[in-house]
């Protein structure tokens, strides 16, 4: 498997972060969370630098498309606006040739929607139309990764199967929400190209260090991935240097405890900053 993290760990832009992180990771999740404004995407010079950094370090890139895109909205206008945002992100990253494109498909128009749509078939049809439009824009089916959000992934999974798409599974959210993460993983791993891994601290804040992820669950997760021959990306999805450093330490310890082969870049390097103390 390839170990990754996000493109916004340190203060600064995409290239500044990638240059610091590239020697230590196999994949970087380029966060194009915003869709509007002059700073929403890297400019041409920054993209040139990102492409060079990718070649130099043998990186893969996973592009996370804008969060506000509502690809299955009941509103035709909102769906069109969301598709336009994702297309602009794809075009902005063209020089970088991302290996994966991560998209959200909400139950309504954003995360934490209270309940599934009353007409589930119509919702799936709207999602299918939007995802087909992205394929028509030049994204290959297995590059397009629909992220597992805070609803039952079984609702959207038939769309992935029909279009032969991939998935991005947020393991950290499954544990946060009390789901049986290994059961979910066994069900959905065959289509997964990215796994997003992070802890939830005692206050309930997620995307924190793996020191907040239950140790027994972490060992079971890595053991399962190795046993299943998972060859996708395992992303330490945090957004802070101390959270990343302590996550690397946890990963290194687990890697050693399980007797996995040495040579893991993310586990063997010294963290750039000391790990944070207990929250």
Report yes or no on 278 lying in a domain: no
Q: pLDDT tens digit string along 29-40? A: 999 999 988 899
212-232 pLDDT, tens per residue? Answer: 999 999 999 999 999 999 999
Q: What is the C-alpha to C-alpha distance for residues 148 and 168, in angstroms, rounded to an integer? A: 6
**Residue at 77 is within a domain:** yes
> Per-residue confidence at 83, pLDDT binned at 50, 70, 90?
very high
Residue 279 confidence class, pLDDT cut points 50, 70, 90: very low
Interatomic CA distance for residues 108 and 105, integer angstroms: 8
What would the pLDDT profile of 134-174 be if each residue is shown by its tens digit?
999 999 999 999 999 999 999 999 999 999 999 999 999 99
| pTM of the full structure | 0.93
Categorize the per-residue pLDDT at 258 as very low, low, confident or very high, splitting at 50, 70 and 90. confident
What phi and psi values does residue 265 have, to the nearest 5 degrees? -60, -45
Cα atoms found within 13 Å of the Cα of residue 95, Cβ hemisphere only: 14
Structural domain boundaries enclosing 32: 2-268
- The total number of structural domains in the chain stands at 1
Q: What does the pLDDT average to over 43-71?
A: 97
Asked if the model's pLDDT at residue 267 lies above 80, the reply is: no
The confidence score (pLDDT) of residue 259 equals 86
Given a cut of 90, whether residue 85 has pLDDT beyond it is yes
Within-domain flag for 148 = yes
Per the CB < 8 A criterion, the answer to whether 13 and 41 are in contact is no
What pLDDT is stored for residue 275 in this prediction? Answer: 36
Could you tell me if residue 129 is inside a domain?
Answer: yes
**Is there a contact between 90 and 138 (Cβ–Cβ < 8 Å)?**
yes
Collect contacts of 140-144 with beta carbons under 8 A, ≥24 apart: 141/165, 141/166, 142/166, 142/193, 143/98, 143/99, 143/100, 143/101, 144/101, 144/103
Query: Is residue 33 one of the residues assigned to a domain?
Result: yes
Name the average pLDDT for the chain. Answer: 93
CATH of the domain at 37: 3.20.20.150
Task: Encode burial over 115-130: b for 16+ CB neighbours within 10 A, e otherwise.
Answer: eebeeeeebbebbbeb
Asked whether residue 56 is domain-assigned, the answer is: yes
Answer yes or no: is pLDDT of 103 > 70.
Answer: yes
Residue 276 resides in a domain: no
Q: SS3 for the chain, per residue?
A: CEEEEECCCCCCCHHHHHHHHHHHCCEEEEECCCCCCCCCCCCHHHHHHHHHHHHHHCCEEEEECCCCCCCCCCCHHHHHHHHHHHHHHHHHCHHHCCCEEEECCCCCCCCCCCCCCCCHHHHHHHHHHHHHHHHHCCCCHHHEEEECCCCCHHHCHHHHHHHCCEEEEEHHHHHHCCCCHHHHHHHHHHHEEEEEECECCCCCCCCECHHHCCHHHHHHHHHHHHHCCCCCEEEECCCCHHHHHHHHHHHHHHHHHCCCCCCCHHHHCCCCCCCCCCC
Q: Is residue 3 a contact partner of residue 269, using CB atoms and an 8 Å limit? A: no
For the chain, the C-alpha Rg in angstroms (whole number) is: 18
Q: What is the pLDDT of residue 213?
A: 97
Residue 270 has pLDDT above 90, yes or no: no
Strand partners, 199: 208
- In the predicted structure, residue 253 carries a pLDDT above the cut 60: yes
User: What pLDDT is attached to residue 273?
Assistant: 46
pLDDT (tens digit per residue) in 194-203:
999 999 999 9
| Residue 275, domain member (yes or no) | no
Residues of the chain with pLDDT > 70: what percent? 94
């Amino acid at each position: 498997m390839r170990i990754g993290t996000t493109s916004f760990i340190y203060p600064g832009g995409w290239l500044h972060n990638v240059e610091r992180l590239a020697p230590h990771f196999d994949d970087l999740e380029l966060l194009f969370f915003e869709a509007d404004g002059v700073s929403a995407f890297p400019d041409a010079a920054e993209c040139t630098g990102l492409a060079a950094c990718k070649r130099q370090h043998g990186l893969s890139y996973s592009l996370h498309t804008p969060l506000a895109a509502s690809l299955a909205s009941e509103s035709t206008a909102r769906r069109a606006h969301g598709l336009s945002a994702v297309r602009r992100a794809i075009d902005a990253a063209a020089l970088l040739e991302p290996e994966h494109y991560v998209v959200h498909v909400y139950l309504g128009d954003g995360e934490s929607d209270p309940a599934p749509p009353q007409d589930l078939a119509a919702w799936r049809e709207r999602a299918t139309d939007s995802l087909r439009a992205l394929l028509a824009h030049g994204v290959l089916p297995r590059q397009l990764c629909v992220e597992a959000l805070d609803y039952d992934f079984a609702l959207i999974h038939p769309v992935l199967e029909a279009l032969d798409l991939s998935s991005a599974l947020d393991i950290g959210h499954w544990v946060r929400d009390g789901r049986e993460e290994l059961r979910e993983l066994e069900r959905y791993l065959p289509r997964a190209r990215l796994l997003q891994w992070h802890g939830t601290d005692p206050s309930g804040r997620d995307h924190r260090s793996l020191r907040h992820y239950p140790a027994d669950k972490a060992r079971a997760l890595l053991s399962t991935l190795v046993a299943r021959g998972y060859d996708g990306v395992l992303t330490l999805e945090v957004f802070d240097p101390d959270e990343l450093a302590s996550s690397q330490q946890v990963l290194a310890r687990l890697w050693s405890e399980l007797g996995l082969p040495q040579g893991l870049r993310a586990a063997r390097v010294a963290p750039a900053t000391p790990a944070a103390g207990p929250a």
